[in-house]
Homo-oligomer: A and B are copies of this chain.
Amino acid sequence: MTSSTTDQRPMTPDELEAALRRIGAERYHSLHPFHDRLHGGLCTKEQVQAWALNRYCYQSAIPRKDAALIARCDDRELRREWLHRITDHDGLEGEEGGIERWLKLTDGLGFDRDYVISKKGALPATKFAVEAYVRFVAEKSLLEAVASSLTELFAPNLHKQRISGMLEGYDFINETVVAYFRRRLDQAPRDAGFALDYVKTHARTVEQQQAALAALTFKTEVLWSQLDALYFAYVDPALPAPGAWRPGEGMRDKLGAAA
């Protein structure tokens, strides 16, 4: 998958960056057919609902993931730098945070908040992938934990596509519900830039570089497998796992109408 093996010289920092970016080009979930449908306006409202409901599990786990990283980090500077990721999602004082913005999206899609937050309608595969990510960050080396965040390098293009594609493609999507993605257009590049510098600086040996590349690959699998599960459950053959959300469930009113 990558060109280096352990008997070769380490890559230069710029070669490492290129190898990391190649993983994005080959494996980021922007390439998944579910996203083609979502951003092309081809999803049914129920498919958009299923996506938002499941993706909540991922969003809501991010502060735990980042706290797991901080919890094992003896470098005060890195902890200080990393901390805002938690507040970006959980909010702080006057700032509502990304999870609240995600709930505005699920509000806009007609969901009852308690239902979304309970995660009880989420697909098992979503929950397994999300928890695999939290555990990876808690258990692997700090370098691998940081490197696994680098999918943020590839997020802004996806978010731009998503904002314009969803506003254009669906009459039930408006500016309020895409606020999460607009905000991430600023946040993700700042965070990704820091993490990329960290990895380029700290991954010096061949082994460290391979570990960083493998960590980013792992993270692309976490994202990709969530869309596989959505596609199977809600697009084709459209067979949600027993107990998972069925269209119409978990709505604020019986019609499933947006507010």
Residues of A within 8 A of B (CB): 1, 26-27, 31, 33, 123-125, 127-129, 131-132, 135, 217, 220-222, 224-225, 228-229, 231-233, 236-237, 239, 241-243
B222 lies within 8 A of A231 (CB): no
Identify which of B26, B129, B243 contacts A124 (C-beta below 8 A): B129
A237 lies within 8 A of B231 (CB): yes
A222-B129 CB under 8 A given contacts A228-B232, A229-B229, A232-B232? no
A222 lies within 8 A of B132 (CB): no
Complex alpha-carbon distance, A237 and B220, angstroms: 20
A243 lies within 8 A of B125 (CB): no
B242 lies within 8 A of A124 (CB): no
Question: Could you say how many copies of this chain the assembly holds?
Answer: 2
Contacts of A127 in B (CB 8 A): 132
CB proximity of A193 to chain B, nearest CB, Å: 25
Complex alpha-carbon distance, A231 and B27, angstroms: 20
Main secondary structure of the interface of A (DSSP, over half): helix
Complex alpha-carbon distance, A228 and B90, angstroms: 32
Residue of A27, A231, A232 most packed against chain B (CB within 10 A) = A232
Nearest B-chain residue to A124, judged by Cβ: B221
Contacts of A128 in B (CB 8 A): 125, 128-129, 131-132, 222, 225
Contacts of A229 in B (CB 8 A): 125, 225, 228-229, 232
A222 lies within 8 A of B33 (CB): no
Given contacts A124-B129, A221-B241, 5 further A-B contacts (CB under 8 A): A124-B224, A125-B128, A125-B229, A225-B241, A236-B237
Nearest B-chain residue to A226, judged by Cβ: B125
